[in-house]
Amino acid sequence: MADQAIASAEFREVAEGRLTKNQRLYPLAPFLEGRALYRYLHYKRRYSSIRELDDTGKLPSTFEQTKYCQNLVAAHGSPTASRAVREGNLAVLSWLTGLTHRNADFSSAQLFSKIVHHLRRPGYLGTFAGGTDGGKTNSALVSAGLHLRDQPDAVLATNITSLKWEESSLNERTYSVESRSELEAVADRHEDVVAILDEMSTQANAQTQNYEVNDSFYHIVTFKSKLGLRMFVIGHRESGHDIAPAIREHSTHFIRQVRDARDLEDDVYSAEFYDGIEEGEPFGHQFTLKPMPPVAASYDPDETATFKITE
């Protein structure tokens, strides 16, 4: 009886638009109403218990990723949500509404879905450039987090060892790798791996590590599709010239991180995606993710990440 009372109270709060702390818990609630909304809340609240009873291990980490929820939204959701299901952007819309306001702008979901669709294809390589404290690590983590939510079987491999997701299920799918062999081992065990390699201006420097990259890491870069890898490599110069040419030349996107400093408000971060870089200048602008929200995770920004490309 108490359980039903709680569910009814949550239903009234959501139905009446008083979405407060439950906004993160029920991200798709703004797009449903009536009986469909009640079913969403009912099964969403019980989903963790349902997963515990599942012997197959095939259920997605979140209720929003299940076929049942997608069919529910497609059949009974608002035009915005139904369109998100048709275009494969439901995970993005769910994540976006959990971060922002009740009536999420679908154009924002479409924008963030671009990186999701790129990451669905193995072999993606995004090279970040920009000064320190510009938010490159945050943007890479936000992008990787979207892929993990979009693909229930995907895992993250990263040399950011201090990373802790707010969602415990994402921590279970995150592996620390501090060498080429450790990255390869994760790729051997999993078919879908997104990797974030930080501080690569040191580990894969164009001037001092170029031979090592070509000798020991080149096959990772060239055969990343066969390995099921998607990668984000983070450098520290706006020109991108601190990253070895082998990595730059095989990049799907050159990503320029921009920080818009505000005096009386929080700084605004954005990530600009380009086809490449030539003589230190990006060319072929594809899209911009702005504003880039803070990742739903914690990590030590002063951590000195290491990655041994020869081991």
Predicted confidence (pLDDT) per residue in 171-200, tens digit:
999 999 999 999 999 999 999 999 999 988
Give pLDDT, residue 132: 77
In 10 A of CB 275, how many CB atoms?
14
Predicted confidence (pLDDT) per residue in 216-248, tens digit:
888 898 889 999 999 999 988 877 778 888 888
Give pLDDT, residue 3: 38
Give pLDDT, residue 76: 86
> Starting from the edge strand earliest in sequence, which strands make up the sheet with 229-234, in order?
174-176, 155-158, 193-197, 229-234, 125-129, 253-260, 268-278, 281-289
CATH 3.40.50.300: which residues of the chain?
118-298
Q: How far is CA 103 from CA 92, 110, 131, in A?
A: 14, 15, 34
Beta carbons of 124 and 230 less than 8 angstroms apart = yes
Give pLDDT, residue 107: 62
Q: How far is CA 132 from CA 47, 155, 214, 258, 282, in A?
A: 41, 27, 26, 11, 18
pLDDT < 50 positions in the chain = 1-23, 101-104
In 10 A of CB 82, how many CB atoms?
16
Residues near 222 by Cβ (< 8 Å), separated by ≥ 6? 250
At 149 the three-state DSSP class reads helix
Give pLDDT, residue 101: 42
The class level of CATH for 118-298 reads alpha beta
Beta carbons of 246 and 149 less than 8 angstroms apart = no
